[in-house]
Amino acid sequence: MNVFERMPFMAKNAVFRKLAEISDITALSKEEHEKYDESIKILRDNYATFKFAIKEEHDKGRAEGRIEGRAEGRAEGRAEGQAKEKKQIAQNMLKEGMAVSLICKMTGLDEQEILKLKDE
């Protein structure tokens, strides 16, 4: 149980009265009111700046992520294309009756991959 819940009702009421007095901006002097308004303006400016910075970081991160994703996709596509091309070349070499060991040297494929292509 927190301290506030253990307080008698009259003490709670006094707390609320004091809070109301503190928060009542109509009771402020002209100078205090100007300071209050300035502090609210600063608070709002800081909040807007903070929200903008977060949005900028988020947008920047998304853009960087897209660039990285595209680069990775291109690299994967090239690798797949090269592997497919090597297999096609190996199949053509097999059709021409070339030795598996020579095909391995020429394409960089291992013997098992070439033997699988031979069975297809």
Buried b vs exposed e over 15-47: b needs ≥16 C-beta within 10 Å? eeeeeeeeeeeeeeeeeeeeeeeeeeeeeeeee
* Contacts with 88 (C-beta within 8 Å, 6 or more apart), sequence order: none
- pTM, entire model: 0.45
Domain ranges in the chain are 28-119
For residues 15 and 10, what is the distance between their CA atoms, to the nearest angstrom?
A: 9
For residues 105 and 60, what is the distance between their CA atoms, to the nearest angstrom?
A: 46
pLDDT band at 12 (very low <50, low <70, confident <90, very high): low
- Mean pLDDT, residues 43-67 taken together: 85
DSSP count for the chain of H helices, then E strands: 5, 0
Give the pLDDT confidence of 73-90 residue by residue, as tens digits.
Answer: 888 989 898 989 989 988
